């Protein structure tokens, strides 16, 4: 699989910074009355990490001359079909795209409990995607 080393490492760094910020939020904003602020910062950084994952998927597709994705979900499907992504990680990345779409386009319906669940249970999926790409290209 071909890719521009600098692009891949920059996107992976963006993902790590965003997820690291999310993990640090309880210490950065410890006040119980600031839950809304932690929520907003979590959504912003989840969105940022999701966008970097989508950008990274699209970069890999373009660099390798694979078919043009119909949408963000399809970009991850193409990677899975080409053997660059496991089925388990594909399912996780589809969920990431779904969350990103709600966060960007339908933010008034964003459920704080869903955001908390993603932060507590699924944030590692973003990091796993970045690590999978970096390792598969032997950029570690």
The model's pLDDT over 74-84, given as tens digits with 9 standing for 90+, comes to 999 999 999 99
- pLDDT, residue 140, reads 65
Are 45 and 22 spatial neighbours (Cβ–Cβ below 8 Å)?
Answer: yes
Number of domains present in the structure of the chain: 1
Distances (CA, A) of 137 to 1, 119, 134: 7, 28, 5
pLDDT digits (tens, 9 = 90+) for 41-81: 999 999 999 999 999 999 999 999 999 999 999 999 999 99
pTM: 0.94
Residue range(s) defining the domain that contains residue 124: 5-139
Burial of 75 per CB tally in 10 Å (0-12, 13-18, 19+): buried
- Mean of pLDDT values over 27-37: 91
Q: CATH number, domain at 57?
A: 1.20.120.580
In angstroms, the CA 57 to CA 15 distance is 13
Residue 109: predicted pLDDT: 85
Tell me: the pLDDT tens digits for 82-119? 999 999 999 999 999 999 999 999 888 889 899 999 99
111-130 average pLDDT score:
93
């Amino acid at each position: 699989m071909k890719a521009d080393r600098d692009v891949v490492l920059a996107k992976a760094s963006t993902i790590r910074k965003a997820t690291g910020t999310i993990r640090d939020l309880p210490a950065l904003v410890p006040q119980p009355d600031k839950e809304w602020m932690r929520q907003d910062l979590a959504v912003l950084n989840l969105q940022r990490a999701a966008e970097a994952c989508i950008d990274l998927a699209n970069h890999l597709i373009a660099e390798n001359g694979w078919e043009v994705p119909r949408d963000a979900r399809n970009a991850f499907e193409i990677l899975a079909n080409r053997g660059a992504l496991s089925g388990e990680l594909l399912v996780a990345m589809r969920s990431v795209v779904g969350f990103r779409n709600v966060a960007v386009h339908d933010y008034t319906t964003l459920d704080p409990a869903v955001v908390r669940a993603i932060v507590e249970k699924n944030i590692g999926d973003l990091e796993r995607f970045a690590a999978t790409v970096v390792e598969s290209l032997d950029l570690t």
